[in-house]
């Protein structure tokens, strides 16, 4: 019965998250049944910590105590033993401690984990440590410690994990580290030499000396083969120590951002090696047997060096999955370098000097390569070297010198999803017409010299995006997308064709092409000098190019009487680029449709707009049509009232009409406009944000036999009210005066139209701008969120690597 009661009481102790007697501290049940985690944060004194926790917990319970962001100036006035519980983990971080007195730590013989990092300690508290002989993990990182002396760790000879990261250590004394160490972290300090302090650590398995100023490791590392992980990146190493050749237990080696010129074959016997990071060095040569016994290597990153040839050095690495040789000096690459690497999935060869790709005589069908980057090289022909890569999904050939594609270059790539040919010199894509890429979804061919598209997408049945911006495309066949239907994860979609800055974007024939594309589930997007909408072009083309209206303009009635002349305010011929353009037609605030008087369709227009003449009959867009009753009312209407939110203005339009119906503009002429530059008689002043009238097209059922003489066009009168009847001489003088005024404005109109001419984009972006090379700045790295490089290649900007290090070292 007594045993049962004790068990119940003990379990109740573990459920301590809401115990008020330990306030302001809190506690939670630990991972084990007899473990409790205590948290004391932002307390005013160490006495407050002791008072809150003393005699409140079972003495047999293992306590993990964490005191943070507190004021502990009175630390030497109390002791942890006053709390009367079994302390086995102690964390005292972010308390601003400058030193640790000896008295509070007496009697803590059971503590196995001590973290006093993130304080302002300037020396290792050896007197306090001497009272905790059972410590296995000691964290004194992120402080201001300057040196490690011989007596500093004499009292903790069982310690296995020692964390001294991110201090300002400049000196290490020989024999200062306990020989029991398994993990030693000296990264991000100011060491220039290890001073032989590590040579006797025969049990050492993981060594972090990254982000220091170390120039050599000769005679510094233990000769035993226990070392499994070496983090020596971001130093100034010029060579690797010779005794590394006997370290058969090595698994991970990070030596990037140094000044290494050669590996000196020190890895050839590393049978357990799985990861080598050696980018941003000065490596120039790889021996054929450099990785002779390294069959377990999965990641080999050697970018940003000066390697000129792989020299068949990769062939023994049978389990290689990722290889990065970008930003080197390789001039020729043979697919035979990959023969037998049946685990390789990613190969990066960007930004080299590769001019030729050579095929593997034995074929590449056995490779499972998924991602291949060959961008920013000097390749002018593929030579079929990549044909047969049946597992390839991403192929990047951007920024090369390809002028022609050959039939068969992409044969066998049945899983290819992304093909990037940006920034080459291709004049056509016709070979794609005879190549079947059944899974290609994204095709990038921007910044090339392509002039036309015919049946180039014929072999791309599920293409969803084609980027053809900044080419010279002026012709697109309606058969381009005949056999293509976008599918993404078997979900039907629409093919997006991006044509930014191509001549066809300024061609009115694109209007008809849009209709054909819509029928075949494709659409065109883009912008150019004459088209500023970055959206689906076909949704806005109708209001940019044409709105079909009947050409017959009927008489209007004002004040119950029918005027002798129809209403027309302005019809002026304009020249642009020495070509006669269709006249701009402005009907004041009204548009004449048949015998009806209706308000114009208002739509925002991008500026500038294309001026051209359509030769293709297109169906007219639906416009507002008034009923017969509204027509009768409009012919007898009083002066029209135009209202807005700011003011109401009464406007009376005074119009004239052509003498005979034979003088109406020819059919199929497209009348376009930009901002109002011609003189329009109206008493209503447009607001700054007021939209412009939609572009209209005049059509005539029976075109006249003779063309319209542009000089005989009627013009608007300047008066706001209908003029009185004048004699023929006065009418002729008035007409000549208005024509002279319009000719004065011709130069202005011409200038506006000239600004919208299409200017082909003949300048391609520099190759180097497509993929910036990595940085090789000579700086120390910070290993966490902000990482600095320390290589001598300062000419390459590069995003620094990140090395993930656990926030807390292993405890057991």
Question: Which comes out higher in pLDDT, residue 709 or 500?
Answer: 500
Tell me the C-alpha distance between 414 and 437, whole Å.
6
Tell me the C-alpha distance between 291 and 388, whole Å.
28
**688: its two tokens:** 């700054």
Q: In the chain, what are the helix, strand and coil shares in percent, each to the nearest 5?
A: 15, 20, 65
What string of DSSP letters covers 411-465? TT-TT--EEE-TTS-----HHHHT---TT--EEE--SS---EESSTTTT-TT--E
Of 201-205, 287-291, 696-700, minimum mean pLDDT range: 696-700
Tell me the C-alpha distance between 491 and 486, whole Å.
8
Average confidence (pLDDT) over 37-51: 94
Tell me the C-alpha distance between 689 and 666, whole Å.
33
Residue 107 included in any domain: no
What string of DSSP letters covers 701-748? SS--SS---GGG-----SSSSPPPP--HHHHHHHHHHHHHHHHHTHHH
Q: What size, in residues, is the chain?
A: 812
Per-residue pLDDT at 417: 96
Per-residue pLDDT at 809: 44
Per-residue pLDDT at 612: 36
SS3 699: strand
- What would the pLDDT profile of 88-99 be if each residue is shown by its tens digit? 999 999 999 999
**657: its two tokens:** 């009409």
Domain count, the chain: 1
Q: Which helix (H) or strand (E) holds 635?
A: helix 628-635
Task: Show the beta-strand stretches assigned E in 685-794.
Answer: 696-699
- What would the pLDDT profile of 117-155 be if each residue is shown by its tens digit? 999 999 999 999 999 999 999 999 999 999 999 999 999
- What would the pLDDT profile of 148-173 be if each residue is shown by its tens digit? 999 999 999 999 999 999 999 999 99
Per-residue pLDDT at 553: 38
Average confidence (pLDDT) over 100-129: 95
Residue 594 included in any domain: yes
**773: its two tokens:** 């090379």
Q: Look-up: residue for tokens 């990722």?
A: 322
- What would the pLDDT profile of 424-452 be if each residue is shown by its tens digit? 999 999 999 899 999 999 999 999 999 99
Average confidence (pLDDT) over 559-574: 40
Residue 702 included in any domain: yes
What are the counts of helices (DSSP H) followed by strands (DSSP E) for the chain? 10, 42
SS3 561: strand
Estimate to the nearest angstrom the gap between the alpha carbon of 796 and the chain centroid.
20
**369: its two tokens:** 């390569």
Measured CA to CA in angstroms, residue 804 lies from 258, 583, 786, 801 at distances of 19, 69, 12, 10
Contacts of 616 by beta carbon, 8 Å cutoff, 6+ apart? 508, 509, 511, 512
- Closest listed residue to residue 472, CA positions, set 511, 514, 503: 503
Contacts of 387 by beta carbon, 8 Å cutoff, 6+ apart? 359, 408, 409, 410, 411, 412, 413
Tell me the C-alpha distance between 199 and 24, whole Å.
48
Per-residue pLDDT at 643: 39
**557: its two tokens:** 């009635």
Per-residue pLDDT at 527: 78
Tell me the C-alpha distance between 529 and 608, whole Å.
8
Tell me the C-alpha distance between 721 and 654, whole Å.
6
Contacts of 50 by beta carbon, 8 Å cutoff, 6+ apart? 78, 82, 83
- What would the pLDDT profile of 585-642 be if each residue is shown by its tens digit? 333 444 433 333 333 443 444 433 333 333 344 444 444 444 443 444 444 434 443 3
- Kindly tell me the sign of the dihedral angle through the C-alpha atoms of 402, 407, 410, 415: positive
369: phi then psi, degrees, rounded to nearest 5:
-55, 130
- What would the pLDDT profile of 752-778 be if each residue is shown by its tens digit? 333 333 333 444 444 444 444 554 443
Q: How many C-beta atoms lie closer than 10 Å to residue 170's C-beta? A: 16
Q: Look-up: residue for tokens 């905790």?
A: 132
Tell me the C-alpha distance between 283 and 270, whole Å.
19
Contacts of 413 by beta carbon, 8 Å cutoff, 6+ apart? 386, 387, 389, 390, 392, 395, 437
What are the b/e assignments for 404-425, b being 16+ CB within 10 Å? ebeeebbbbbeebbbbbbbbbe
Residue 666 included in any domain: yes
**7: its two tokens:** 């068990």
List the domain range (segments joined by +) for residue 568: 548-719+745-754
Residue 442 included in any domain: no
- Closest listed residue to residue 574, CA positions, set 717, 710, 759: 710
Q: Has residue 577 got a pLDDT over 50?
A: no
Contacts of 684 by beta carbon, 8 Å cutoff, 6+ apart? 589, 642, 649, 651
Q: Please state, rounded to an integer, the average pLDDT across all residues of the chain.
A: 74
Instruction: Name the pLDDT band for 702 (thresholds 50, 70, 90).
Output: very low
Of 375-379, 395-399, 497-501, 557-561, minimum mean pLDDT range: 557-561
Residue 613 included in any domain: yes
Of 183-197, 330-344, 698-712, minimum mean pLDDT range: 698-712
- What would the pLDDT profile of 313-329 be if each residue is shown by its tens digit? 999 999 999 999 999 99
Tell me the C-alpha distance between 204 and 578, whole Å.
85
- Closest listed residue to residue 759, CA positions, set 540, 480, 531, 508: 531
Looking only at the bridges linking them, the beta strands covering 394-396 and 570-576 are unpaired
Tell me the C-alpha distance between 714 and 216, whole Å.
93
Instruction: Name the pLDDT band for 692 (thresholds 50, 70, 90).
Output: very low
Residue 647 included in any domain: yes
Percent of the chain's residues with pLDDT above 90: 53
776, with CB counted inside 10 A (0-12, 13-18, 19+), is buried
Per-residue pLDDT at 384: 92
**489: its two tokens:** 């994860």
Cα 256–260–263 angle (5° rounding)?
Answer: 95
Of 403-412, 449-458, 550-559, minimum mean pLDDT range: 550-559
Residue 92 included in any domain: no
Report how far apart the first and last C-alpha atoms of the chain are (Å, whole number): 36
Tell me the C-alpha distance between 190 and 214, whole Å.
9
SS3 753: helix
Per-residue pLDDT at 789: 37
As a three-state string, the secondary structure of 498-520 is: ECCCCHHHHCCCHHHHHHHHHHC
Per-residue pLDDT at 548: 41
DSSP 44: S
- What would the pLDDT profile of 168-211 be if each residue is shown by its tens digit? 999 999 999 999 999 999 999 999 999 999 999 999 999 999 99
Looking only at the bridges linking them, the beta strands covering 561-562 and 596-598 are unpaired
């Amino acid at each position: 019965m007594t045993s049962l009661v004790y068990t119940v009481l003990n379990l109740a102790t573990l459920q301590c998250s809401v115990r008020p007697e330990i306030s302001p501290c809190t506690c939670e049940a630990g991972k084990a049944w007899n473990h409790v985690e205590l948290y004391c944060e932002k307390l005013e004194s160490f006495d407050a910590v002791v008072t809150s926790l003393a005699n409140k917990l079972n003495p047999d319970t293992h306590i993990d105590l964490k005191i943070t962001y507190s004021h502990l100036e009175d630390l030497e006035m109390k002791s942890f033993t006053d709390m009367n519980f079994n302390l086995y983990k102690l964390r005292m971080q972010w308390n601003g401690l400058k030193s640790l007195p000896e008295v509070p730590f007496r009697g803590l013989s059971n503590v196995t984990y001590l973290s006093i990092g993130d304080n302002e300690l300037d020396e290792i508290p050896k007197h306090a440590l001497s009272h905790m002989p059972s410590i296995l993990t000691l964290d004194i990182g992120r402080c201001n410690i300057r040196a490690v002396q011989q007596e500093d760790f004499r009292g903790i000879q069982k310690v296995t994990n020692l964390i001294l990261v991110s201090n300002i250590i400049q000196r290490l004394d020989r024999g200062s580290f306990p020989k029991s160490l398994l993990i030693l972290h000296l990264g991000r300090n100011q060491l220039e030499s290890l001073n032989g302090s590590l040579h006797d650590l025969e049990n050492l398995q993981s060594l972090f000396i990254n982000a220091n100023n170390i120039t050599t490791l000769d005679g510094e590392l233990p000769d035993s083969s226990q070392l499994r992980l070496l983090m020596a990146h971001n130093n100034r190493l010029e060579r690797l120590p010779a005794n590394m050749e006997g370290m058969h237990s090595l698994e991970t080696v990070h030596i990037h951002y140094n000044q290494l010129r050669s590996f000196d074959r020190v890895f050839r016997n590393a049978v357990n090696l799985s990861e080598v990071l050696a980018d941003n060095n000065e490596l120039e040569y790889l021996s054929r047997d450099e990785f002779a016994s390294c069959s377990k290597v999965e990641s080999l990153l050697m970018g940003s060096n000066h390697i000129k040839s792989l020299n068949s050095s990769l062939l023994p690495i049978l389990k290689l999955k990722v290889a990065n040789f970008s930003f080197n000096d390789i001039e020729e690459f043979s697919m035979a370098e990959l023969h037998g690497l049946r685990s390789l999935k990613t190969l990066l060869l960007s930004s080299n000097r590769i001019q030729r790709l050579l095929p593997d005589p034995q074929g590449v069908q056995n490779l499972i390569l998924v991602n291949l980057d060959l961008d920013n090289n000097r390749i002018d022909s593929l030579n079929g070297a990549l044909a047969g890569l049946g597992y390839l999904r991403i192929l990047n050939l951007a920024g090369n010198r390809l002028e022609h594609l050959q039939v068969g270059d992409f044969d066998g790539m049945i899983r290819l999803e992304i093909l990037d040919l940006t920034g080459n010199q291709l004049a056509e894509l016709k070979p794609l017409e005879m190549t079947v890429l059944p899974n290609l979804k994204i095709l990038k061919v921007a910044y090339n010299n392509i002039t036309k598209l015919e049946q180039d997408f014929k072999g791309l049945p599920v293409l969803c995006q084609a980027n053809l911006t900044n080419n010279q495309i002026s012709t697109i066949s309606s058969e381009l997308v005949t056999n293509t239907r976008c599918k993404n994860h078997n979900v039907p979609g629409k093919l997006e064709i991006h044509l930014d800055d191509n001549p066809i974007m300024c061609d009115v024939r694109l209007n008809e092409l849009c209709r054909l594309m819509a029928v075949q589930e494709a659409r065109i997007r883009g912008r150019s000098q004459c088209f500023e909408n970055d959206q689906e072009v076909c949704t806005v083309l109708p209001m940019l190019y044409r709105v079909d209206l009947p050409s017959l303009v009927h008489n209007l009635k004002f004040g119950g009487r029918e005027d002798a002349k129809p209403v027309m305010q302005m019809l002026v011929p304009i020249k642009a680029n020495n070509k006669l353009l269709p006249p701009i037609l402005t009907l004041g605030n009204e548009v004449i449709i048949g015998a009806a008087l209706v308000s114009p369709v208002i739509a925002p227009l991008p500026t500038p707009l294309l001026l051209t003449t359509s030769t293709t009959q297109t169906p007219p867009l639906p416009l507002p049509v008034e009923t017969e009753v509204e027509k009768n009312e409009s012919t007898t209407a009083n002066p029209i009232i135009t209202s807005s939110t700011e003011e109401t203005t009464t406007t009376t339009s005074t119009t004239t009409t052509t003498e005979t119906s034979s003088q109406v503009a020819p059919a199929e002429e497209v009348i376009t406009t930009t901002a109002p530059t011609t003189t329009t008689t109206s008493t209503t002043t447009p607001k700054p944000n007021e939209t412009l009238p939609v572009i209209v097209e005049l059509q005539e059922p029976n075109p006249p036999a003779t063309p319209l003489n542009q000089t005989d066009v009627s013009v608007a009168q300047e008066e706001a009210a209908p003029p009185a009847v004048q004699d023929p001489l006065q009418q002729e003088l008035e007409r000549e005066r208005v024509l002279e005024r319009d000719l004065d404005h011709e130069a202005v109109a011409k200038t506006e139209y000239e600004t919208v001419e299409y200017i082909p984009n003949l300048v391609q972006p520099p190759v180097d701008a497509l993929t910036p090379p990595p940085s090789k700045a000579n700086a120390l790295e910070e290993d966490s969120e902000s990482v600095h490089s320390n290589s001598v290649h300062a000419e390459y900007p590069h995003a620094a690597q990140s090395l993930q290090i656990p926030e807390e070292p292993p405890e057991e």
